[in-house]
Homo-oligomer: A and B are copies of this chain.
């Protein structure tokens, strides 16, 4: 039984708390800390059987009974808290992105090198989605041969509010970062070069924040495959999350998930349901699965499925994407 402390009781912290309580075996959340802990949150947390509720996360790090912590605090604190936790001898599950600055991620890497027993997992939950996992499985099994072209479609149902855009690091580090990690996961490879063609087509207010809302991103992977991601901040029909991997022996492709398979045929045509609304609906089960695998790695001294290398790569690709937009040219990863 792994005892867990959760640092940060915002939306994603609560998701993990529920997953571990109801859907993950051999794990138990003992403590939750949040600097803004209020009565309502405390009631929710205690309702899940958590006995220790703190404002200061250091109380979690000081508890010798706690084996692992989940770092679900605000992004700018991920790296520092992770390093403290590593040094306190805890296993760490860190939400994505580890940080927006490469030197801070490097500092986490160094802490891990100094503590080789530490299990450190990054929260790229979509790798555990049933559809995307099936794509990778088909590739691993050799069913499509060598990877030639990967296509990822990733469109949100609605843009974030402009205030959030400012602090989010922009579309590439906030939204596309998941797709960058997915590209690496599905091709089992890193990125060598990237080129971005982007635009502001959804909302001029986004452009006024210096960000973009629509993009086509081309990448050359280190294994020779080509990859393309197309992003939009607003799809009128909802959350569009698909992937297609084309190779020397065939192609594997996925569709969106829906609430039901019901299709209505009438005078208007043959109509199925829209995709599940947004990431909490579409990826809920993947949040449980990433926790199961993290707990399993902690308990059985196994390898974590998404380590610091992946956490570093995704941010690096995001920064290269920004550079490509600024300089309007293909950018090699080696330039960063």
Which A residues are closer than 8 A to B by beta carbons?
Answer: 22-23, 130-131, 133-135, 138, 143-146, 148-149, 151, 153, 155, 193, 195, 197-199, 201-202, 214-216, 218-220, 224-228, 230, 232, 234-237, 240, 246, 248-257, 259-274, 328-330
- Given contact pairs A148-B232, A199-B220, A252-B265, enumerate 8 new A-B contacts (beta carbons under 8 Å): A134-B273, A155-B246, A230-B246, A236-B250, A252-B262, A252-B263, A269-B274, A271-B271
Q: How far is the CB of A138 from chain B (nearest CB, A)?
A: 6
Residue contact A138 to B262, C-beta cutoff 8 Å:
yes
Q: How far is the CB of A238 from chain B (nearest CB, A)?
A: 8
Residue contact B260 to A237, C-beta cutoff 8 Å:
no
User: Can you report 18 residue pairs joining A to B where beta carbons are below 8 Å apart?
Assistant: A131-B262, A134-B262, A135-B262, A143-B266, A144-B264, A148-B201, A202-B248, A216-B218, A230-B246, A235-B251, A236-B250, A236-B266, A250-B265, A254-B261, A255-B261, A269-B272, A271-B271, A328-B330
Top 4 closest pairs, chain A to chain B, by CB: A250-B266, A134-B262, A134-B260, A237-B265
CB-contact partner of A250 in B134, B193, B227, B267, under 8 A: B267
Residues of B within 8 A of A218 (CB): 195, 197, 216, 218, 228
| Given A149-B214, A224-B199, A266 and B254 contact (CB-CB distance below 8 Å) | no
Q: How far is the CB of A241 from chain B (nearest CB, A)?
A: 11
Closest to A145 in B: B236
Residue contact A270 to B271, C-beta cutoff 8 Å:
yes
CA distance A50 to B23 in the complex (A): 18
Number of copies: 4
Residues of B within 8 A of A228 (CB): 216, 218, 228, 230
Residues of B within 8 A of A23 (CB): 22
CA distance A13 to B47 in the complex (A): 25
Residues of B within 8 A of A268 (CB): 271
Residue contact A260 to B265, C-beta cutoff 8 Å:
no
Residue contact A146 to B201, C-beta cutoff 8 Å:
yes
CB-contact partner of A274 in B145, B215, B265, under 8 A: B265
Q: How far is the CB of A218 from chain B (nearest CB, A)?
A: 5
Residue contact B216 to A201, C-beta cutoff 8 Å:
no
| Given A195-B197, A232-B149, A253 and B248 contact (CB-CB distance below 8 Å) | no
CA distance A248 to B228 in the complex (A): 21
Residues of B within 8 A of A198 (CB): 226
Residues of B within 8 A of A197 (CB): 193, 195, 218-220, 226, 330
Q: How far is the CB of A105 from chain B (nearest CB, A)?
A: 27
Residue contact B267 to A270, C-beta cutoff 8 Å:
no
Residue contact B246 to A232, C-beta cutoff 8 Å:
yes
Residue contact A264 to B143, C-beta cutoff 8 Å:
yes
Residue contact A274 to B263, C-beta cutoff 8 Å:
no
Residues of B within 8 A of A149 (CB): 214, 216, 230, 232
CA distance A246 to B235 in the complex (A): 8
Residue contact A250 to B237, C-beta cutoff 8 Å:
yes
CB-contact partner of A266 in B237, B255, B260, B262, under 8 A: B237
